[in-house]
Amino acid sequence: MNLLRKLLFPFSLLYGGITALRNFFYNTGILKSRSYNFPVICVGNLSTGGTGKSPMIEFLVSFLKSNHQLAILSRGYKRKTTGYREVLKSSVVEEVGDEPLQFKQKFPEISVAVCEDRQTGIEKLQNAADVILLDDAFQHRKVEASLNILLTSFGKLYSNDCMLPTGNLREPKSGAKRADIIVVTKCPENISDSEIKTIKRKLRPKGHQQIYFSKIGYGAQIMNTKQVKPLNYLIDKEFLLVTGIANPKPLVVFLNKEGLNFDSKSYPDHHNFTASEIEELKKHPLILTTEKDFMRLQGLTSATEIYFLPIKTIILNNAEAEFKKRIEEEMVK
């Protein structure tokens, strides 16, 4: 934690107090939440990002879509529009945000929409779906989800964090009690039993909460809108890795383990690339990026060879079937 963030600690106390008071008003019914007579599953976190919400949404879609009519609702972070907007395959990032566009292009049969007011979004989507997935809505207390999935990353548990601006928490740690399921994401492949016990002790789950552990799985192929190639296509080639995500380190480590030769350039999470940055990137003949960043860099395809590496959520400890069963149970309540 740098010195400036430490100096801002009094503001963290103020912000924490305001958000705690807001939660109190919702918890006591002074402010009203709306519930629905169909499943609304919220995926969110306590921190400002980097916990793997998008891969979790896609994981849920992958096994729910065969038996349910799904819709995904997001706020469309950093889009330049407001209000409710349906996401189309032809939409652009400026209109709907990078992650909603990623969802739509990956699952074109699923209804995807953006709206900063989740109540409004749900009302417009409810005739198109029997299950709605809320992306990044844990703090949106106007909606009472039927199931709350709270994510926290292995490298930065919410129990070890502080409120903004000193730390990265959006609300006090006590907000975690609203979760039905807690998933520790981005775990190492060889997480030990002792580490799992330590994390559970730090998170102190309530009696109604289940804790699962997951990791990010990287694909064996790279792709763009026109073609798919094996990852080993990059062997013996020099390329530029471009990332605009919260924590690119695991991806860098993975590519290094694959023996690939590359330079890297990282930008802030959800970075909106400027015209001058795009022109600079065009100078590189071969670029690898993340799927989310590819949504904002598709304009490069006519000027350079660019691919993205897909990722997915993998539930650890042979608990995938149990996790899926817990989600499916919500469908029949």
CA–CA distance, 148 with 182 (Å, rounded to integer): 9
Looking at the predicted structure, is the pLDDT value of residue 26 above 70? yes
pLDDT band at 3 (very low <50, low <70, confident <90, very high): confident
pLDDT band at 5 (very low <50, low <70, confident <90, very high): confident
> ∠ at Cα 172 (48, 18), nearest 5°?
95
Looking at the predicted structure, is the pLDDT value of residue 2 above 80? no
Closest residue by Cα to residue 124 from 180, 176, 85 = 85
pLDDT of 280: 94
Looking at the predicted structure, is the pLDDT value of residue 139 above 90? yes
What tens digit of pLDDT does each residue of 29-72 get?
Answer: 999 999 999 999 999 999 988 899 999 999 999 999 999 999 99
Range(s) within the chain of domains with CATH label 3.40.50: 3-68+130-213+315-331, 220-309
Q: What's the Rg (C-alpha) of the chain?
A: 20
pLDDT of 8: 85
Task: Give the other-Cβ count within 10 Å of 174's Cβ.
Answer: 11
Q: How many residues appear in the chain?
A: 333
What tens digit of pLDDT does each residue of 263-322 get?
Answer: 999 999 989 899 999 999 999 999 999 999 999 998 787 779 999 999 999 999 999 999
Looking at the predicted structure, is the pLDDT value of residue 1 above 70? no
Task: Give the other-Cβ count within 10 Å of 58's Cβ.
Answer: 21
Phi and psi based region of residue 136 (left: phi greater than 0; alpha: psi -120 to 50; beta: remaining):
left
SS3 of 165, please? coil
Task: Give the other-Cβ count within 10 Å of 277's Cβ.
Answer: 15
Q: Which of 72-76, 140-144, 186-190, 308-312 has the lowest mean pLDDT?
A: 186-190
Once rounded to an integer, what is the mean pLDDT over residues 13-17? 95
Q: Which letter, b or e, does each residue of 261-272 get, where b requires 16 or more Cβ atoms within 10 Å of its Cβ?
A: ebeebbbebbbe
Give the CATH number of domain 3-68+130-213+315-331.
3.40.50
pLDDT of 303: 79
Is it true that domain 220-309 has CATH number 1.10.8?
Answer: no
User: pLDDT over 90 for what percent of the chain?
Assistant: 89
Once rounded to an integer, what is the mean pLDDT over residues 115-119? 97
